[in-house]
């Protein structure tokens, strides 16, 4: 979570991808209120920047955070 917070600061909170990563880090640490707030910030940025694929992904992840579940990308597993 610390690295994601630092990345968000370095990006001046302007990168929806980085803010989304921070939201996922909060959820993984079971800080769901922070995850929800941060995901909403990422969602607003993604919409403003017309990033439709990212917008849809964040909306899906936000539902998980609201259900107190973390987001885990199972498509990039290590073998």
Domain segments of the chain as ranges: 2-66
pTM of the model: 0.88
pLDDT confidence of residue 78: 56
* Percent of the chain predicted with pLDDT > 90: 87
Q: Assess contact for 14 and 33: CB atoms under 8 A.
A: no
Query: Does the pLDDT value for residue 56 go beyond 60?
Result: yes
Segment 18-43, tens digit of pLDDT:
999 999 999 999 999 999 999 999 99
pLDDT at 74 exceeding the cut of 80: no
Choose among 52, 53, 49, 41: nearest CA to 13: 41
């Amino acid at each position: 979570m610390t690295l994601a917070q630092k990345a968000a600061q370095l990006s001046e909170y302007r990168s929806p991808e980085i803010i989304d990563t921070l939201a996922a880090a909060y959820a993984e640490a079971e800080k769901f209120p922070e995850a929800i707030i941060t995901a909403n910030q990422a969602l607003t940025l993604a919409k403003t920047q017309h990033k439709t694929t990212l917008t849809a992904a964040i909306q899906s992840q936000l539902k998980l955070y609201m259900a107190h579940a973390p987001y885990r990308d199972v498509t990039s597993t290590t073998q």
